[in-house]
Chain A
Amino acid sequence: MAAGEGESESVRYRVKPMNCPMHILIYASQQRSYRDLPVRLAEIANVYRNERSGTLHGMLRVRGLTMDDAHIFLREDQIEQEIFQLLDIVELVLGKTFGLSYRLDLATRPDKKLGTDATWDQAERALEQALKHRGATYRIDQGGGAFYGPKIDIKFNDAIGREWQGATIQLDFEQPERFGLEYTGEDNRPHQPVMIHRAIFGTLERFVGFLIEHFAGAFPLWLAPEQVRVLPISDAQAPAARALHERLRAAGIRSHLDERNETLNYRIRDGELQKIPYMAVVGQREAEAGSAAVRSRGAGNKQVVLATLEFAAKLQEEVRTRSLTPLV
């Protein structure tokens, strides 16, 4: 029987639906002291969930999920600082990198809950303090938390104003207890850590699905699968076009060469349909000067003539800074 078919020495296996228990096992694999905390375990992992077929939707709701998952094990007194740092990451990713406006909802204890009021008091206060110190605007979703801990839900709007459910920062009092997790405190006695589940993108399927819709397929340069398409006007410029293409590749740019025996207009139109960020046209003049006539996506028929090195440098800068707007 082939591997993966589930029979191995008659033991049956199943694919995992989540990572938390795996990370818990790593935490529990050794003695932890209060000085070791927080222990942060992150993994970009494939998990599988048997979502009902009626709920599946393209990449937005799938059964095979690639999660950017992390679990953080920490002391109660570390919650605020940790959440503060996680909010920094949220701002870096959603705000700074993707230019999204987002909303934070703090979901507090429901009626039926696990853990003492004192634990919840401290956790909720820590979450709210972190939100305040971060200067974030947030709303309180009274009673909206899970029974095992409060959470911060992140929602953001796309380019046409639709709201998307983003990542979650979830505190968990349950699993550390269920798995009997411990650390040795300053008092030399065993204590139970708190656990934070966090995902920033959630799943890469859903996030890429979102990005496709948000950018309408016109990805910023750093994400665009094909960054530049080099177009010789005619066969006479093929060697110069190839040289430009090779130089861009050497500079780490995802360049493609379109030497098809089609008219320039046809090839430009095709590049536009493929939403390629830049098209570099090489005519007689450019071939002689070692330059390219660059058409930036969305700029119509406007062309900017740039020397090869200058063009490559601008592209590199645009990628490095993950710019949302073209630098050429």
Chain B
Amino acid sequence: MPPEIRVTLPDGSEKRVPAGSTGADLAKAIGPGLAKAALAVRVNGNVWDLTRPLPDGAKLTILTDKDPQALEVLRHSSAHVLATAVRQLFPHAKIGFGPPIEDGFYYDFEVERPFGPEDLEAIEKQMVEVVKADYPFVREEVDRREAKRRFKDDPLKLERIDDLGPDEVISVYTDGSFVDLCRGPHVPSTGRIKHFKLLHAAGAYWRGDERRQMLQRIYGTAWFTKDDLEGYLRRLEEAKKRDHRVLGKQLDLFSIQENVGPGLVFWHPKGAMIQHQLRRFIEDTILRSCSCARGTSRCTRRTSSHRWLRGRESRNPCAIG
């Protein structure tokens, strides 16, 4: 009899499956409906691809499109589909990072010129082809030397490999002709990504560091159903109409003068009136319970004996002089 492993399902029941079984095998053993719907598997709290052999004694949940974590996987895979399409159209594009984000995903590329709207259109069309081809996402674990060989033409990836600790597992994912250095997990194949749209492109510094080169970041969104996608796009449209920077100008509420300094708000009279009303509201209702409203100095000696300027992250103060 072949060796077996035991796994625990979400309802607490135990299941025996042959050693070496994957999430996909388990889903199939539970039922054909689940096998079809399965996108990934949660193993002891971590999300894995369906193709990895399961460990003995694991607590497992098969993820379908009902699970919010599966949506994150879908979006991550969508980022790979985007990069696959970009590489097909722009073979010299160098790849940076491509994570899922709230409501969607992005991917950073180093290219000779910024992407325009017509590029995005062409890339989106190419993505449809990648989806149609239904390439499986194949995971491999490789050693450092092999990883460097695979990404020899991708300096950004090489830099990333150099940053990985000596004990870190290096995994790569392949779909069609595209290979990415990636932790995963991914949906079983590109064909699972059906409802997506590219939104816009913007410059982004490599690793968010303004001393490094500017990459081109393409943003997109992906959902499990057409309704979800359309609903999201409607909300985006609505959000655009409400953009406070646009309304702030139209209603003459505030401005930001880049030459004076970014991030410093100029309150115009009408905006200042709103601020004034909010202050009155605070003073009339909220501060009633406080002993006093205080006014403390706006600046301090740099070499203050109080160590309060240290010890809080991301609060680096602005120096004068």
A and B form one complex: yes
| A273 interface residue per 8 A CB criterion | yes
Closest to B310 in A: A178
- The distance from the CB of A315 to the nearest CB of chain B, in whole angstroms, is 14
Q: Are A21 and B308 in contact (CB under 8 A)?
A: yes
| A14 interface residue per 8 A CB criterion | yes
Knowing A18-B315, A21-B308, A43-B293 touch, does A213 contact B244 (C-beta < 8 A)? yes
Interface centre among A22, A25, A46, A200 (most CB of B within 10 A): A22
Q: Are A18 and B312 in contact (CB under 8 A)?
A: yes
Give chain B residues whose Cβ lies under 8 Å from the Cβ of A26.
Answer: 294, 296
Give the complex CA separation of A223 and B281 in angstroms.
10
| A15 interface residue per 8 A CB criterion | yes
Give chain B residues whose Cβ lies under 8 Å from the Cβ of A12.
Answer: 301-303, 319-321
Q: Are B307 and A178 in contact (CB under 8 A)?
A: yes
Partner of B239, one of A24, A93, A160: A160
Q: Are A45 and B271 in contact (CB under 8 A)?
A: no
| B299 interface residue per 8 A CB criterion | yes
8 Å CB interface, A8-46 against B: 11-26, 39-46
Q: Are B265 and A64 in contact (CB under 8 A)?
A: yes
| B205 interface residue per 8 A CB criterion | yes
8 Å CB interface, A70-86 against B: 70, 85
Give chain B residues whose Cβ lies under 8 Å from the Cβ of A58.
Answer: 243-245, 248, 256
Partner of A45, one of B270, B295, B319: B295
8 Å CB interface, A194-230 against B: 200-201, 204-205, 207-214, 216-217, 219, 222-223, 225-226
Q: Are B250 and A5 in contact (CB under 8 A)?
A: no
Give the complex CA separation of A201 and B281 in angstroms.
11
Partner of A68, one of B261, B282, B319: B282
Q: Which of A48-56, A125-133, A291-299 has 4 or more CB atoms under 8 Å from chain B?
A: A48-56
Q: Mark A156-171, 1 if CB is under 8 A from B, else 0.
A: 0000111000000000
- The distance from the CB of B229 to the nearest CB of chain A, in whole angstroms, is 15
Knowing A20-B308, A52-B210, A92-B285 touch, does A5 contact B294 (C-beta < 8 A)? no
| B300 interface residue per 8 A CB criterion | yes
- The distance from the CB of A268 to the nearest CB of chain B, in whole angstroms, is 17
8 Å CB interface, B281-295 against A: 281-282, 285-287, 289-295
- The distance from the CB of A180 to the nearest CB of chain B, in whole angstroms, is 11
Give the complex CA separation of A200 and B208 in angstroms.
31
Q: Are A50 and B318 in contact (CB under 8 A)?
A: yes
Give chain B residues whose Cβ lies under 8 Å from the Cβ of A275.
Answer: 251
| A307 interface residue per 8 A CB criterion | no
Knowing A63-B262, A213-B243 touch, does A22 contact B321 (C-beta < 8 A)? no
Binding site for B on A (CB under 8 A): 4-7, 11-26, 39-54, 56, 58-64, 66, 68, 70, 85, 89, 92-93, 97, 160-162, 175, 178-179, 200-201, 204-205, 207-214, 216-217, 219, 222-223, 225-226, 254, 273-275, 322
Binding site for A on B (CB under 8 A): 204-205, 208, 210, 235, 238-239, 241-245, 247-248, 250-251, 253-254, 256, 261-265, 269-271, 273-275, 277-279, 281-282, 285-287, 289-303, 306-309, 311-312, 314-321
Q: 25 A-B pairs, CB-CB below 8 angstroms? A: A12-B303, A14-B320, A16-B296, A18-B312, A41-B290, A42-B290, A42-B292, A43-B295, A45-B298, A54-B204, A54-B210, A58-B248, A60-B244, A63-B263, A63-B264, A63-B318, A70-B290, A85-B289, A89-B285, A92-B286, A208-B253, A208-B254, A216-B247, A225-B269, A225-B270
